[in-house]
Structure 1
Amino acid sequence: MLEEKLKEAIVEELKRQGAVKADDQTDEKQGSKVRVEGEIDLDDLAMVVAGAMAGGP
């Protein structure tokens, strides 16, 4: 389903961004919720969401 694919893409992008700035951000997924502390690059996140909606990886 598209909704699940979007959720997965968002969480993976948050993890990727967190790995780049490990001291800046933590993400913790619990069920259908995610806790994030730190800065998020919205341009990168938007590209990931758009790609997931278009059927990209």
Structure 2
Amino acid sequence: MSNMLEEKLREAIIGEMKRQAANRPELLRVHDAEDLTVHGSIDLDALVMVIAGSVAGGP
């Protein structure tokens, strides 16, 4: 996997995790430092859609 694709996927995952945490702060907390720390419930279907869109070249 190329570094560019890895970075795009990383950004998509972190962005989606932060979006979910902002929309449901009572269910999910995200801390993005060197590593991503996630506490709570993740909407896996939404995460999969973001990853698929990122790989396909979507927004």
Alignment TM-score, normalising by the size of structure 2:
0.89
Secondary structure of residue in 1 paired with 2:37: strand
Q: Which runs of 5+ in 2 are unaligned?
A: none
5+ residue gaps, structure 1:
none
Identity %: 52
Q: Find the partner of 1:20 among 20, 23, 38.
A: 23
**What is the alpha-carbon distance in structure 2 between the residues aligned to residue 22 and residue 43 of structure 1?**
18
Name which of 48, 53, 56 aligns with 1:46. Answer: 48
SS of residue matched to 2:25:
coil
After the TM superposition, list the runs of 4 or more consecutive aligned residues in structure 1 that deviate by more than 6 angstroms.
Answer: none
Normalised by the length of structure 1, the TM-score is 0.91
* Aligned length, in residue pairs: 56
